[in-house]
Each structure stands twice: as C-alpha cells, then as structure tokens.
Amino acid sequence: MKIECPHCRKRYRIKDEKLPVGQKIAFPCPACREPIELDLRNAPQPGAVPAEPVATAVDPEAAGRLKTELLHQWEDLPPMLEVLIKTRRLLDDPKASLKRVAGAIEADPALAATLLKIANSAFYGLSGNVSSVQHAAVVLGRKTLEEVITMAGTSEFLGKELPGYGLAAGDLWRHSLTVAIASRQLALKKMPKLENDAFSAGLFHDLGRIILDPHILLEKAQLERRINEGGRHPVVAEKEVFGFDHADLTADLCENWNFPPAQFLAIKYHHAPSGSDGDMLSYIVHVADAADAGIYDSGNAEIGSPLLEDGALSFVNIDEKELAELMAESAEAVEQITGAVLSAQ
Ligand SMILES: [Fe+2]
Ligand SMILES: [Fe+2]
C-alpha cells in the first residue's frame, strides 16, 4: 500500500501483510515524526469491533509544563550515575592509575558489588575469581572495565519495575543492555568509530520511560483505548496524550546531563531515524531497538512492536538473517550478565 504523510508529504510503501485489517491505525512519520493515520476499516474482519475515532488531547502549554516538571525531577544525576560518569572520565584520562579508578568505584559500595558480579559472570569468563575492584580493573583492562562499570551503574535505576509500561523489575535493564550490545556490534561491523557512542546511546535510549511511567499509569485507560481501539502505535499514543514521547524526554535529559550531542540525537530519533537527516548512529540504535521487540509486546504484535522503518536495514547495510544472528548473540550475552546480578538480588 502506498501512503503519503499529510504533514510533510513524504511518500512510503508498506507491505499489505503488515497492515492490520479492519482498524484505524497511526504511526510516526519517519521523516517529520508527526502521526500518519490510516483508516483500514473498509475491509472489516467478521465480528471485528470498528475503531472509534480518538481525539488528540494535547494542550501545548500543559505538555510543556509536564515535560519541564519531569526533567526537573532529574536535574541532578541519580547518585550511581554520577559515580559512573566520574569513573568513566577517569578511565579516559591516561594519567589516572587503575588504583585511582578502583578507588572512585569503591566510593559507591552497591556499584562496586554489582561490578564484581558482572565481572564474575559467565560472559566475562572470570567465574568467581575476581574478588576486588582493583583486581577486576587489572584483569579486565581499561576498555572492558569501562563497559562493565557502565552496565553496573545502570542496573539500579534501569532495573526498576515500571507498572505503567507493564515491565517487571529487570525488564528495562535487559532491553537496554540488549540494545546497547547489539548497537555496539552493528557499529563495529559498519562504522567502528561509533562503537562507544552506540553502546551508550543504546543503553540510555529509553531512560525517560522511568520518569514518564507514573503518568503512563495514570493515563493507562486513555492510552490503551488509543492503542487498542484507535490503532495507535504506543509511541504515537504517548505523543498524543502528553504532547511528547519518551524518546523526546530521554534526549532532553541526556542533553541536560551534557551527554555528547551524537548520543542524544540518536536517542531522540530511535523510533524514527529518517528524521535525523541521515545520522548513522540514529539508524543503528533504531535497528537494534526494533529488533529487540519483546518490550513492546502488547498482545498485538503488528501494532505493539516498534516499527522498523522502510530502508533502515539497507541504511545500516545488514540483512534480516545477519541481524537475527547478531540479536541472538546479544540476548545470550545479556542473559549471562543480568543472570549474575538479578539472581543474586
Ligand atoms: Fe523507545
Ligand atoms: Fe527501546
């Protein structure tokens, strides 16, 4: 089916088998991110409930106030993230000794304990032989230590239960790690200089869900009506109800925390990378996120899964088979890493 965005007039082709029959649906335009609505009710399924028209509920002033209020909650970095960023800066300084780096990590005992669990996980193959942060630093080396400390530093706040999004404790951390590891692997294959930015942008891409979650819970009925009856993609429903979605919110948070611009750009466009003006990092995170679809499973796979933009796979130069293998490897790595941390809690 050929469609045209009513806002920017960009044209797309969508495979008919990907479209739900008998529903009215909406999804973000890959180019301008405004909602594209499709009324597919002309060929209703026997017994199907016709979709109700759903009005957009955004008052721009109220949307701006809510966003400012949410960003204000995390004006300062969460404590574990502050130690994490300080440690990563030290790791980037060749003059800072590993002893000094280990000292900075040990300033947060919970972070140090999680780091040791990950270092001793099956994925890093150290199998319980590392008993101190300084020992871990020496055995892992600076580069791997940075990766492990970043994973450990996000376990606490990304590991929380998010009842609004229907995510159990650990789900968002698993998803974020999978997207981080898969994004890094994609970068290594296609544009190695993006390796570190791909890992960080992948890890933090959905952070805004944490502060948006209580509001998702409050507006659950309205959001579900838009998704289930109005056929909205969950990200479009968020934008309609709040005036912004979790990708906008996360990008603003990361900008406030002085993340590198490349990272918050990729975070902003992780659901619609063609809005990024051809930014490879945005495409990489988008492909990894869309491929790890489990987090969006709302009982309606077609609508609940994030949309993979047409052309995104060819933009990052990967085919479906290669992507499936890369995702399976990433999921296996995440299982080994999170298993060591979550099973011990
Ligand atoms: Fe997202
Ligand atoms: Fe995601």
* The pLDDT value given to residue 49: 37
Q: Average of pLDDT values for 46-54?
A: 41
- Cα 289 to ligand 1 centroid, rounded to whole Å: 7
- Cα 5 to ligand 2 centroid, rounded to whole Å: 24
- Cα 248 to ligand 2 centroid, rounded to whole Å: 13
More confident residue, 44 or 310: 310
pLDDT in tens, 164-212: 988 889 889 999 999 999 999 999 998 999 998 999 999 999 999 999 9
Within its chain, how far is the Cα of 18 from the centroid? 23
pTM score, two decimals? 0.79
Q: Average of pLDDT values for 284-305?
A: 62
- Cα 247 to ligand 1 centroid, rounded to whole Å: 6
**CA 125 to each of CA 54, 131, 138: distance values in angstroms, whole numbers, following the listed order:** 53, 14, 15
What's the rounded Cα separation, in Å, for the pair 342 and 114? Answer: 10
What's the rounded Cα separation, in Å, for the pair 288 and 294? Answer: 12
Nearest to 208 by CA among 82, 10, 49, 66: 66
Nearest to 69 by CA among 215, 257, 167, 204: 215
Helix, strand, or coil here: 190?
helix
Q: Average of pLDDT values for 14-37?
A: 67
pLDDT range class, residue 341, cuts 50, 70, 90: confident
